[in-house]
Structure formats: C-alpha cells, structure tokens
Amino acid sequence: MKARVSKNFWRDKNVLVTGSLGFLSSWLIIDLLERGAGVTGLNDDYNPRSLLRLKGLEKKICFIQGSITDYPAVERIFTQYDIQVCFHLAAQTIEGACRRSPLTAFDTNIKGTWNMLEAARNSRQNLESIVIASSDKAYGEQKELPYREDQELLGRFPYDASKVCDEVIAQSYSRTFGLPVGITRCANIYGGGDFHWSRIVPGTIRSVLRNENPVIRSDGTPVRDYLYAEDAADAYITLAEAVAGGKAKGESFNFSAEHHKSVLEIVKMIIAVSGKKNIRPDVQGKGKPYQEIDRQILSAAKAGKVLGWKAGYSLEEGLKKTFDWYVKYAAEYL
C-alpha cells in the first residue's frame, strides 16, 4: 500500500496535524513519522490515553496545546513552523455530544475549519496541500446507494451538517483563493487506540474482554461501511500528495473498504475473532435508534480511479489486528 506514495515527498516536510492526539490523527502521525516528516501537532487538551503516548512517540512531534477556534494561535503555527502540508482533523466527532451541545460542535467543527483555512491563506508561501476531514455522514439520508461524490449532501443532524459546512467553506477557499485543498469522506474508521467506548468496535471489544455479552442498543440491523485505521491514514497521505502534485484540488473523495455490514454482523465478527465461545450479542433495541440513518454505504471508485487508492485490509484482518491491539495495550483501561 505505502509504495503508492513517495517517502521522498515527506522527508523533512513541515506537516501540521490538528486534533493531533485523536484516534485517527495518531495513526496518521505514526505513518508520517515513518516517512520522515517533521510533525507539528495542535490539540486543545492533553490526552493521556493517546495512541502516540502508548507507543512512546509523543516526544517525536512538536506538540502545541491550543484550540483550533483561536485564530491568532492557528495563524502563528502556520507562520512560525513554515507549514507545507496540513491535515485538519480537529473536530467534535462524537455524534451524541454534537446533539447534546450543537453550538459547541458548530464552533469547533465549522469555525475551526475557517480559522485553519484563513491562516493557511495568509501564510501560504510554501503551502503545498491541505486535507480536510469531512465524513460519510455529510451525505445524510439518500435514496440511492452506495454514496457517490456527485450526490447532493443532505446531512441535517448537527455533526452531519457541520461537515457539510466544512466542505462548502473548503471549496470556497479553493475556488476563490486557489488553496490546494482535498477533502476526505471516510467510512466508519476503526482500529487500536479508540477509547470512545460508545462506538461499536471498541465497545464490543471491551465487553468481550470483560467476558460480558456486548449490548446492541438498536435492533442490530443498521448498516455501515468500515475502514481500518491504517488504511484511513494511507488515504489521507495519498490525497495530500495528489493535491500537492496538482491533482484533485478542491475535490472530495470517498474512502472505504467497500464491505458494509450490519451492527449485529460486526459484533458477531468481533466475537468470532476473540475465539470466545460463551459470548453472545445482547440485542436490546426494538427498532432503529432515534435520529440515525439506517444504511450508509460508500463507493470508493473515484479514489481508485483518480488516486490509485484501495484499502489494503479486509474487514476480518482489520478486526483481528484491532482486537489484538486492545489485548496488548489496553488492559488497564478496560
């Protein structure tokens, strides 16, 4: 997979990752460090359970504690550290939290994006590429599946709507000011280092490792696409290099392994990976969760055609690697 992009491109490159102690950000930074990039990370608080800390890599990046909503701080980072590539992942990503506090979510997710883009515009002498994290949730409820990039974005719930706004703002900066922007719409990302137990994969793994039956709050039928974290990091890096090379500027791309499963199927797969015969899913819901899209399925055909990208891990392989990670690293947090 990684042979598709050039290590030479990343060697000594000044890279900013916002939301740097997050789950996906950590996997991305690990990959960037392996490629020889110099990474600056912005995060609003210190996360003692960050994957970077667990792997002993925190001191290999220049860590700046601050908020993406603080424009002067963001602008200072771009100018002081001569940022050449920016991966913008800082956001409130937990949908339940966005619904409980939509103003906070909009402030972080939308204002944070325009702050980053404006800082990049004002400090763009050596800027080569910006990759902005949108989401498959931006599509909302669609009549035609799988989702394709030319469909209208119908996201209406707070998190979903914030990502629609991010995309419109990013495309505005790209079209008006020529900023080298690319946008990712990823399937549900899973992998080691995710401690948001409300998510289906880490939550199920925690239950299994506790020898408890995993609880499914719905009726188990909602369907999602899934993408292993290392594949997601590779997708971000692939898109950043393509944009820097003059390809795909201002465009959005779906990234998915294109293997959609129901919630119940995912839980059963994790139980099978664990090898535990005495665990059974506890399906408690009598219907679909309130305000949740029933089926979210992505086509990654455009990413394959334009970027030459394809997921490297099957769902079975990714879940096995994820389960093994929690067994090895996360016992104290279960």
Point out the residues that are catalytic.
Answer: 159
Q: Which of 156, 289, 165, 129 lies closest to 220, judged by CA?
A: 289
Note whether 328 and 200 are within 8 A (CB).
no
Q: Which of 229, 326, 254 lies closest to 30, judged by CA?
A: 229
CA-to-CA dists, residue 105 to 46, 102, 112, 175, angstroms: 19, 5, 10, 26
CA distance linking residue 2 with residue 19, whole number of Å: 23
Handedness of CA 31, 33, 35, 38 (dihedral sign): positive
Cβ count near 215 (within 10 Å)? 14
